[in-house]
Amino acid sequence: MQRLAMDLRILSRELSLYLEHQVRIGFFGSGVGLSLILGFSFAYACYYMSSIAKKPQLVTGGESFSRFLQDHCPVVTETYYPTVWCWESRGQTLLRPFITSKPPVKYRNELIKTADGGQISLDWFDDDNSKCYMDASTRPTILLLPGLTGTSKESYILHMIHLSEELGYRCVVFNNRGVAGENLLTPRTYCCANTEDLETVIQHVHSLYPSAPFLAAGVSMGGHRHMFVKQIDMDHVMKAKSIREFDKRFTSVMFGYRTIDDYYTDASPNRRLKSVGIPVLCLNSVDDVFSPSHAIPIETAKQNPNVALVLTSYGGHIGFLEGIWPRQSTYMDRVFKQFVQAMVEHGHELSGM
Which residue numbers are catalytic?
A: 220, 288, 317
Distance CA 300, CA 307 (A): 9
Helix, strand, coil in percent for the chain, rounding step 5: 45, 15, 40
CB–CB of 320/92 below 8 Å?
A: yes
- DSSP, collapsed to helix, strand or coil, labels residue 64 as helix
DSSP 177-189: TTSSS----SS--
For residue 125, the tally of other CB atoms under 10 A from its CB is 24
CB–CB of 137/127 below 8 Å?
A: no
Residue 18: what residue type?
Answer: Y
Residue 123: what residue type?
Answer: D
CB proximity list for 133: less than 8 A, separation 6 or greater: 127, 139, 140, 168, 169
Rama region for 149: left / alpha / beta (φ>0; ψ in -120 to 50; rest)? left
The H or E element that residue 35 is part of is helix 32-47
Residue 137: what residue type?
Answer: S
- DSSP, collapsed to helix, strand or coil, labels residue 5 as helix
Radius of gyration of the chain (CA): 23
Rama region for 336: left / alpha / beta (φ>0; ψ in -120 to 50; rest)? alpha
Distance CA 305, CA 232 (A): 42
- Cα torsion angle, 157, 163, 167, 168, sign: positive
